[in-house]
Chains A and B, each alone.
Chain A
Amino acid sequence: MSPDDRREVLEQLLERVRRNAAARSFAPAAAETSGDLQPAVHTGDNGVDGALHGDETALPAASPPEHAEQDDASEPYLASPAPPPAGPSRPLVRFEFEDEQTATGDPYQIEALVLAEAAAAEAAARGLDDPLPGPSTIPPAMPPGPTAPGYGSGPLELDDLDSLGAPPLTSGEAMPPAWVPPLPPPPAIDEPPAYVAEPPAYVAEPPAYVAEPPAYVAEPPPSVTEIADDDESVIELDEADLASVPPEPMAPPEPLADPMTAAYEAGLGGAQAYDDQGPETDHAGFVDRQSIEDIEAAVLPTEEPASPAEVAHADPAPAPPRIEEPAPESQRKVRELDRPIDDALDGVDAEEEPPPESGEVESQRYPAQAAPIVDEVSADRRVDEPVHDEAALDEAPTPPPRSRLAADAGPSVTVIERPPPPDVAVAAYAGARPRADDSFGTLLDRALSLGE
């Protein structure tokens, strides 16, 4: 359902509400106090905010609400016995919204708007009669808690709104004191342990000795980059961005006149952060069409920039005349020679070729002219085969001995063995080693001379 459809439906509903309220404003007020409004206790995070939205007077004192901690607070539960089935009623407002939650499709806002319209109609009708001596029967428009999304989703009828009014009292009767039921005991909230302020243990560390003062180097200011003023810098907004425009700021909340509500409000404290925002105004959540058009006119550019695909297929613009920039100074610097230019030899400097642009080194641009290297010598080659390539012989590894080649060649090779040695005395020993004088007298004298 588009937002326009929703607006149309809402307008129709509001029209029906106005007509119904005008028709009922002349009818006698039905003093029915049936329990159409079922006292529901919504358990939020703290388990107490749900009691604020229910009718406290309908809560029996003997049956305090059961506070149950639920992780999923979206499911309300009944704290009191099931009320009698309500009479045939026709649901006035029932919205089935899609997943998209916009500012104009909030069911709570719509419900609050409907209630406000009904209250205004009733007040206008009663403004013709004498003011009622009793308290206002119109319940304060309380926005539902954020943790109770199911609140308000139930069917509401205008009869239910009328049933909230108390029976008119005669002018001679004294106004009975209002019976205030005892407040339900506050739920047990697990409070964190009391914070005990302990002095922080601060150990002052000695400052590190800095031998040298820090060098403050004044950095050059950043270069100013000029941003081209093109269409890309404009923020483009689409329909989704426009639909998510935040609503206008709400009016300040009105003070709550109900003592019960005030008591609960005071007891709940900061847990009612959402409730502190106060009742929503009639314009809350609505942005009329003219405003949207104005926003679109102000934000969207007159002509949408061409998409990148279109830019790619577009004819290229004529290239501006290229202005050749001068080469860097490093390339224009004159080459300095190691020797004076007067001593330059003719033909020496000319032979030096500049380095090729391809990056090849000079040695790679000349083919190898070396003869093919014989890596191995085949044993099948004949021994008496002449070797013509002397260079190949120099490069080739050392060939195996000829004896092995001869043995491998076969029986055609003549084997010449060494003749046996001649049977002659190769060495002649002449003389003899002179024998030491080992006579007993000599040895005795040597022994007697020991230690002298």
Chain B
Amino acid sequence: MGSSFDPSGSVAFDVGTGRIALSDGDPYVIVPAAALAALAAGQTDARGLGRAIGVKAAARVGRRLGGEAGSGRLDRSGTMPPAGAIGDRLRQASAEALVELLGGEIALLGLGNLRLERWGGAMVFVLDPCAMDARADDLVLGVIEGALSIATDREVSAAVVDRSPRAARILVGNPRAIAFAVERAQSGVFFTDIIRDLHAAPPEEAR
């Protein structure tokens, strides 16, 4: 008889660091196949791929949040709850609970460890460690934007304001504020100064 395939221990999920490794030891990321196909077909970009990953992750969080009331599973009809219902759950949830659930989902995808920093009114998500380097910042930004877009009706934009080989600090805000932050970050301004400027004056006057 031929040798049988033993899959035991083939995939290692490090939920604490958000790293997925196979038997070869390299990190891997779990992406939706449709989104990857669309990317491969050229129908979308990395940010679109990331948005697809984030929306899927937030939907799972919403289901988990609703699952506490109904175990988060599919209802008896076998259909998913509506998005509005998922968004409300996300909004009603505490920041700590959302960070825990969303961070777990992102960690299972192999994107890294998620934490939330609040600088005054600003909200900064940090992937530390981040599974991908700076070349995939648009993918990471798409994941955050897609996940938060489930919890609000407003347009959500994100930008990397602080980047290191190991971690990435992502500022969340409206598109105007993020555009201002991107401009300041490209000019070398530290992210704390950018956040302070956002609190001090509107972006128009700051410019």
Binding site for B on A (CB under 8 A): 438-452
Which B-chain residue is minimally distant from A438 (CB atoms)? B95
* Alpha-carbon distance A452/B179, docked complex (angstroms): 12
Report B170-183 CB contacts with A as 1/0, cut-off 8 Å. 00111011001000
* Alpha-carbon distance A439/B94, docked complex (angstroms): 4
| CB pair B151 A440 closer than 8 Å | yes
A-B contact count (CB 8 A): 68
Q: List 5 A-B contacts (CB under 8 A).
A: A438-B95, A440-B151, A449-B121, A450-B174, A451-B198
Tell yes or no: B167 within 8 A of A by CB.
Answer: no
Tell yes or no: B203 within 8 A of A by CB.
Answer: yes
Stretch of B37-45, B85-93, B134-142 at the chain-chain interface: B85-93
* Alpha-carbon distance A443/B92, docked complex (angstroms): 11
Tell yes or no: B98 within 8 A of A by CB.
Answer: yes
| CB pair A452 B202 closer than 8 Å | yes
| CB pair A451 B176 closer than 8 Å | yes
| CB pair A440 B94 closer than 8 Å | yes
* Alpha-carbon distance A444/B93, docked complex (angstroms): 12
Tell me, rounded to whole Å, the shortest Cβ–Cβ distance linking A63 to chain B: 118
Given contacts A444-B148, A447-B122, A448-B154, A439 and B174 within 8 Å (CB-CB): no
| CB pair A451 B93 closer than 8 Å | no
Tell me, rounded to whole Å, the shortest Cβ–Cβ distance linking A443 to chain B: 6
Which B-chain residue is minimally distant from A452 (CB atoms)? B174
Give the B interface residue count (CB, 8 A). Answer: 27
* Alpha-carbon distance A450/B177, docked complex (angstroms): 7
| CB pair A451 B180 closer than 8 Å | yes
Q: Name the one of A445, A450, A451, A452 contacting B152, with C-beta atoms under 8 angstroms.
A: A445
Given contacts A447-B122, A452-B174, A452-B202, A441 and B180 within 8 Å (CB-CB): no
| CB pair A451 B94 closer than 8 Å | no
Within 8 A of A (CB), among B87-123: 90-95, 97-98, 118, 121-123
| CB pair A446 B121 closer than 8 Å | yes
Contacts of A442 in B (CB 8 A): 91
| CB pair B123 A444 closer than 8 Å | yes
* Alpha-carbon distance A446/B173, docked complex (angstroms): 9
Within 8 A of A (CB), among B161-207: 172-174, 176-177, 180, 198-199, 202-203
Sorted from nearest, which 5 A-B pairs have the closest CB atoms? Answer: A441-B91, A451-B177, A447-B123, A440-B98, A451-B198
Tell yes or no: B15 within 8 A of A by CB.
Answer: no
| CB pair A447 B91 closer than 8 Å | no
Tell me, rounded to whole Å, the shortest Cβ–Cβ distance linking A90 to chain B: 136
Contacts of A443 in B (CB 8 A): 95, 118, 123
Contacts of B118 in A (CB 8 A): 443
Contacts of B198 in A (CB 8 A): 450-451
Tell yes or no: B156 within 8 A of A by CB.
Answer: yes
* Alpha-carbon distance A447/B155, docked complex (angstroms): 12
| CB pair B177 A452 closer than 8 Å | yes
Tell me, rounded to whole Å, the shortest Cβ–Cβ distance linking B65 to chain A: 10
Contacts of B93 in A (CB 8 A): 439-440
| CB pair B121 A450 closer than 8 Å | yes
* Alpha-carbon distance A440/B97, docked complex (angstroms): 9
Contacts of A447 in B (CB 8 A): 121-123, 172-173
| CB pair B173 A450 closer than 8 Å | yes
Given A441-B151, A444-B148, A451-B177, 8 further pairs, Cβ under 8 A? A439-B94, A444-B152, A448-B154, A448-B173, A450-B173, A450-B174, A451-B203, A452-B176
